[in-house]
Structures are given as C-alpha cells and as structure tokens.
Amino acid sequence: MNQSIKPGDNPDLTEERLSGTFDTNSMAAVIYGSDKLAQRRREISEAVSRIPELQDSKPCPFMTREEKILEGSRKSAILNRLLPGLIDLDSFEETVFIHQEVIGIEGHPLALHESLFIPPIATQGTDEQQKKWLGRAQRREIIGCYAQTELGHGSNLRALETTATFDISSQEFILNSPTITSLKWWPGALGKSANWSIVIANLIVHDKNHGPHPFMVQLRDEKSHEPLPGITVGDIGPKMAFNGADNGFLGFENYRIPRENMLMRHSKVTPDGGYIRPPHAKIGYSGMVRVRSRMAAEQGLFLAHALTIAVRYSAIRRQGYLEDRSREVKVLDYQTQQHRLFPSIARAYAFIFCGFETIRLYDQLLIDVQNGNTSGMADLHALTSGLKSVVTHQTGEGIEQARMACGGHGYSMASYISEIYGVAIGGCTYEGENMVMLLQLARYLVKSIEMIQNGKSKNLGPMVAYLAANESEIDLNLGPNEYLKVFQYAARSQAWRATEKFQKLRNSGMSKEQAWNQASVELTRASRLHTRLYIMSTFINHVGSVVDQKIKKVLIDLLNVHITYEVMDIGIYVQGLLSSDQMDLIRNQLYVSLETIRPNAVSLVDSFQISDMQLRSVLGRRDGNVYENLFKWAKSCPLNDKDVLESVTKYLKPMMDKSKL
C-alpha cells in the first residue's frame, strides 16, 4: 500500500498510488537501511511540520542571498535550542536530516561544521585536543569550517602555499599567506559565519617543509565576531547555487597559534622541533575520504528529490493523445518519458544502496586506523574517488533530464529543480575535481593489472579480481549475474586497453608523467566502467538480500531497468562480446522493463519519503494539486506586489510616450 494517499489529492496521483504493488514504508526501510531510520525520518518531518518558527518565512526563490543566509542562521539557532527534543544528538544521520528538512539544500552556516570541522577534530585530534574543542563544537559554542583550497590551487594539494612555521622560542606556529594565490578560497561558512577553522597548511620545522597538515585556528573574536589581527576574511560572492552558504576567502599575516593547535593524533611536532611522521603518509587526507564516502548516498538523494518532482508531475500533467482521443494522456505514459525518468530512478536507488555501503566501509576503516591498521586506506581511497566522480556526474545528468521532463514548468524556479541541479553538480568539483579523482582510481587499476602481469593475481583484492578473468561468451537469458559479466568484460577490456596504452608510451621512451597524460582519457574511461560495475554489483547484492517478497519483486523489476539500460549505454565497449542479436534482445528487455515498472513509478519515488517542506517544489507536491498552487506561487512573487513598477514609470513609459510623438 502507498502510505501517501490522502483525501483531497489530485485524482490522477491517487490513481497512481492505488496501482502500486508494495508498501511504501517498507520500501523506505530498505532504502534507508532499517525500519527505525526510515521511521525516524517520518517522525522528524512530522514534528518539524508542527513547529511554526521552523517554517520558511517565504519561498526560497523569492529570497535575496542576504535573506537566505539570515534565514539559515535563524533556523540553525532555533534548531540548536530544539534539537535535544527532536533528534538523537549522537546520530549524525538524524542531525544532517533535520537540517536538510528545515533549512533545505541551499547551504547554511553549520553545513560544514558537522561534516568537515567536527570529524577532523574527532579523528585527527589527540585526546587532549578533543577534550578542549569537541564539546564546544558539538554544543555549537564555536562554529567551524574546513579551509584547504586556495585561490591558485585545489586539486594539487602538494602545491598549497599557506605555511605554518614552527617557532621554537615561542612554541607557536606562525601562519602566512605569502602570495595572492595562497589565499584560502571556497571554504563553506568561512566568509561570515565561522569563528574557527581547520586550516590545511604546509608544516615547516627547522626550514624543512613536511607538507600539508591540519591546524585548529581561531579566526574571529568570540565576543565581537570581528576578525582577529593578522586575519583577512570575507565572502567570495554569489555562486551558481548553494547561496545560503557563505563560502569564503582567508589570508594570514604572521598569525600565531600555539603548538598545541596542530592536530597531533597522527603527525606530531615536539617542543624541541622534532617531527614525528604519521603511520600512513596520506592519513591527513582522511577527512576528504570521509566526505567522499558519504557522497554517493547524498547525491542519490539529490537525484531522488528531482525524480520525486518529475515523476509526480508527469502523473498529473496531461498532454497529447494515445488511442483514446477523448482525454489527453498523462505524460508518464509516453515511452520517451519513461526512458527519460525510470533508469534514473533505478540509479538513485543504486547510488543510495552503495552509498550506505561505503559509509559502512569508512566507519570500519576508521576503527582499523585508530587501532594502527592503515592497510585498507588505499582501497577505500580508490573506491570513493571513482564513486564520487561517477555518481555526481550521473546525478547531474539525471536531474537535468528530470527538469526537461517537466517541460516549461521545469524551467521555473517553482519546480526548484534548477536549485537541486546547481547544488548537486557542485559535487562534481568539490572534494576533488572528477577527472582528478578518476585518475586516482586509474592508478589503482593500473597497479592491479601490473600485479597480474607479474603473476601475482592471487594478491588482488575482491573488487579488482575480475581484471584477471577471461570471459568471452555470454548467455543473456540467465539474469542479473550475466549482465554483470558483460559489464566486467567492458571494464576489464578498457582497463587493459588503457594500461597497455600507458605502458606502450612508456616503452617508447616517454616519461611516466607524459605517458600518463597521453593515456589519461582512456584511463578515466576505465575508472568509470570499473565504478559502474561496482555500483551494479552492489545493487544486485542488495536486492538479493531483501526478505520482503513484494518489495523484492519490485526491486528486481527496477534492477532489470538498471542492468539493461547500463549495458545499452556502454554498447561500444561490448561489441567484441555481444552480437547485434544479443544487443537487440537487451534493448527489447529494457522496453519491457519500462512497462513493468510503470505502475509502481509514483510509489517508488514516494518511498524516498521527501516531505513537501524539504522538496520546496510546487510541481512535486505530495497532493499533486499543482496548477492552483503554481498560480498562487506566481501571484506571491514580489514583482507582483505592485501592478506598475518603477522600471515602467521611469524608463519604458517615457520611451513609449516619446515614440508616440
């Protein structure tokens, strides 16, 4: 049963919900990993909807940037007071969820505090440092951000220019931004809200540069909020979206912090200027790995937002005819519309499933690292580098298709899809630009193939074992695992092709760097295919583990959409394996699976349980009563406060009057 049905809803949407074959609350439990978490999301939405001071003061598209920041701060402060009664304060998921529910996706002053400020203190700070700052940060007595990227460098961390030079005589680090390009640039909440920051700076001791390290740095006076002497800080200006956040710039001029402010759980500087290396050279990068490991689920939910809007709207939008000329059809009945939206629904489910898996893998790695075992770091770095790149790119594509699927109204901010798009595609850039991160995964793939070439296949990890296989024939009547083999074939042959290209260039006498650059398009293709294979196999495993038979049935239908669409999409890579008859068969299976999933389309998006408050979309309203509310929304636009605007009286009217003469 679809739990969203209510009296007064648009009958077309109710009809869709009645045609669903499964219980949407049970599906939500599968999506969010447990009945408890899914239920908590419903309870929090319900509780929030009853608190008037947490409601939007006006629709976000009608707010200026200053109003957005004010609104985000107002709600953050109220939430801070109300949180203990609303959520389990120890649950990161509930904390993130309630902020997104109340404030939305456009960013807010605490967006980075929870995800990039507190975690480094908790994982890279010593016990003493945690005692000093963690409680204060958790109680929000201080607001923090993460300042790493600079005006001149982001992707290449080793070229950062900010310095933290140890002064033995005063037992302090002296922070400096020696050039214009060394200004920190982009950190969220830095511009106007944060008073503390984790700053990544090159550690210099006895004139030796030990590379980027994390430091706890106070930026503003805790009473006046004025920048401290030696600090230059401000907002970098409007962005294509995410304008509720004050991304900022930051410069240091001989700014001193105590020795104890370097986060020293792993690397240490002793009072006499000794440097103690971390157990793994890249352990300081683990804050980024943490965020990347959460991005697949986060982005899957961005896609879910856009699809909830587009699918619901497609069920109430009637345009054109099929056989019956007496009534226009729901646009959701067109095959082109289904082809545009349903594979994206499948991807959203797949991203969320594998996103929760990578969060689990990160949590396990964290425990291992705290126990001194860093052996899993390279694997997770490679996996999350590929995943964040593929998922953000495909999410962007899916959201844009969702917008077009809503026709003209999709282009209106009333749909809110453009904001979702703008926020989501930020993910293609932040936490490592996608190409750069695909190339990180490619290093791992090339190394794996070199192991095979050196007769060490048995040392390959489970995620790359397929690179050593030798599949050349496929029987496609056997289901998902055969499709997986097709994908393995594509990923394997591309990984070998790219590696061999790189090796050939090397053997021709080219430097490693040039050879890598000239093979890099092929290498990124290999990384994408490897990652898509991982997503597919996680999806298959996840569906296999579902116990509720009605849920399992619809997830198998959705999986069929996914595997057939994905294999069609990579057709060029499987030409050596599949005949044209087999490709035709897959194409037809895709069309059949679109029809099979059609009656459950609305229930599948309802199962994401995204409330109207969170969705902020007139087109995607749960009740489907779009037209009257679109009219109301347009009338409430500030431009309509007056019938005759100054633009007319001051300029257009005189121009028209003059033209009449």
Ligand X SMILES: CC/C=C\C/C=C\C/C=C\C/C=C/C(=O)SCCNC(=O)CCNC(=O)[C@H](O)C(C)(C)COP(=O)(O)OP(=O)(O)OC[C@H]1O[C@@H](n2cnc3c(N)ncnc32)[C@H](O)[C@@H]1OP(=O)(O)O
Ligand Y SMILES: Cc1cc2nc3c(=O)[nH]c(=O)nc-3n(C[C@H](O)[C@H](O)[C@H](O)COP(=O)(O)OP(=O)(O)OC[C@H]3O[C@@H](n4cnc5c(N)ncnc54)[C@H](O)[C@@H]3O)c2cc1C
Interface of this chain with ligand Y, residues 94 to 123, rule: CB under 6 A: 112, 116
- Residue 154, interface with ligand Y (CB under 6 A)? yes
| CB atoms closer than 10 angstroms to residue 525 | 20
| CB atoms closer than 10 angstroms to residue 436 | 15
Which among 140-148, 344-352, 574-582, 630-638 is the span making contact with ligand Y, rule CB under 6 A? 140-148
Residue from the set 113, 259, 312, 381 that interacts with ligand X by CB under 6 A: 381
How far apart are CB 115 and ligand X at their closest, in Å? 6
CA distance 165 to 206: 8
Q: Where are the beta strands (DSSP E) in 261-376?
A: 268-269, 275-276
CB 474 within 8 A of CB 577: yes
Q: Which two tokens stand for residue 206?
A: 């006895």
**Sole residue written with tokens 């070998």:** 496
SS (H, E, C) 35-95: HHHHHHHHHHHHHHHCCHHHCCCCCHHHCCHHHHHHHHHHHHHHHHHHHHHHCCCCCHHHH
How far apart are CB 637 and ligand X at their closest, in Å? 25
CA distance 301 to 305: 6
Residue from the set 149, 165, 384, 401 that interacts with ligand Y by CB under 6 A: 149
Q: Which residue's beta carbon is nearest to the bound ligand Y?
A: 154
Identify the H or E element spanning 137: helix 127-138
How far apart are CB 157 and ligand Y at their closest, in Å? 9
Set 106, 431, 473, 482: catalytic member: 431
- Residue 297, interface with ligand X (CB under 6 A)? no
Query: Which does residue 387 touch among ligand X, ligand Y, none (CB within 5 to 8 A, set by kind)?
Result: none
| CB atoms closer than 10 angstroms to residue 217 | 22
CA distance 595 to 335: 8
CA distance 492 to 603: 37
Nearer to ligand X, 427 or 624 (CB): 427
Which among 35-43, 185-193, 619-627, 650-658 is the span making contact with ligand Y, rule CB under 6 A? 185-193
Cross-strand bridge partners of residue 146: 198
Dihedral angle over CA of 212, 213, 214, 220, nearest 10: -70
- Residue 448, interface with ligand X (CB under 6 A)? no
- Residue 441, interface with ligand X (CB under 6 A)? no
Which among 49-57, 226-234, 436-444, 521-529 is the span making contact with ligand X, rule CB under 6 A? 436-444
Q: DSSP assignment, residue 330?
A: B
Residue from the set 187, 251, 300, 624 that interacts with ligand Y by CB under 6 A: 187
Q: Is 251 annotated to bind ligand? A: no
Count of residues of this chain found to bind ligand X when the rule CB under 6 A is applied? 29
- Residue 39, interface with ligand Y (CB under 6 A)? no
Burial class (CB in 10 A: 0-12, 13-18, 19+), 85: exposed
| CB atoms closer than 10 angstroms to residue 301 | 24
Residue from the set 136, 239, 443, 553 that interacts with ligand X by CB under 6 A: 443
Cross-strand bridge partners of residue 249: 185, 234
- Residue 147, interface with ligand Y (CB under 6 A)? yes
Active site residue 161: no
CB 82 within 8 A of CB 101: no
Residue from the set 215, 249, 285, 489 that interacts with ligand X by CB under 6 A: 285
Residue from the set 37, 378, 413, 435 that interacts with ligand Y by CB under 6 A: 435
Q: Is 188 annotated to bind ligand? A: yes
- Residue 513, interface with ligand X (CB under 6 A)? no
Residue from the set 64, 155, 170, 370 that interacts with ligand Y by CB under 6 A: 155
- Residue 249, interface with ligand Y (CB under 6 A)? no
Residue from the set 430, 502, 534, 608 that interacts with ligand Y by CB under 6 A: 430
Residue from the set 144, 426, 480, 624 that interacts with ligand Y by CB under 6 A: 426
- Residue 69, interface with ligand X (CB under 6 A)? no
Which among 278-286, 427-435, 530-538, 551-559 is the span making contact with ligand Y, rule CB under 6 A? 427-435
Identify the H or E element spanning 569: helix 549-569
- Residue 432, interface with ligand X (CB under 6 A)? yes
Interface of this chain with ligand X, residues 114 to 173, rule: CB under 6 A: 115-116, 146, 148-149, 154-158
Nearer to ligand Y, 115 or 564 (CB): 115
**Sole residue written with tokens 């703008």:** 422
Q: Which amino acid is at 581?
A: D
How far apart are CB 285 and ligand X at their closest, in Å? 4
Residue from the set 97, 146, 573, 608 that interacts with ligand Y by CB under 6 A: 146
CA distance 391 to 352: 10
CA-based nearest residue to 283, from 175, 372, 156? 372
Nearer to ligand Y, 430 or 534 (CB): 430
Maximum Cα interatomic distance, the chain, rounded to a whole number of Å: 90
How far apart are CB 457 and ligand X at their closest, in Å? 19
CA distance 356 to 542: 11
Nearer to ligand Y, 19 or 100 (CB): 100
CA-based nearest residue to 608, from 385, 303, 332? 303
Cross-strand bridge partners of residue 165: 174, 204
Q: Which two tokens stand for residue 96?
A: 């993130």
Point out the residues that are catalytic. 431
Binding-site residues sit at 149, 188
Binding-site residues for FAD sit at 149, 188
For ligand X, the binding residues (CB under 6 A) are: 100, 105, 111-112, 115-116, 146, 148-149, 154-158, 188, 282, 285, 288-289, 298, 377-378, 381, 430-432, 436, 440, 443
For ligand Y, the binding residues (CB under 6 A) are: 112, 116, 146-149, 153-155, 186-188, 242, 247, 426, 429-430, 432-433, 435-436, 439
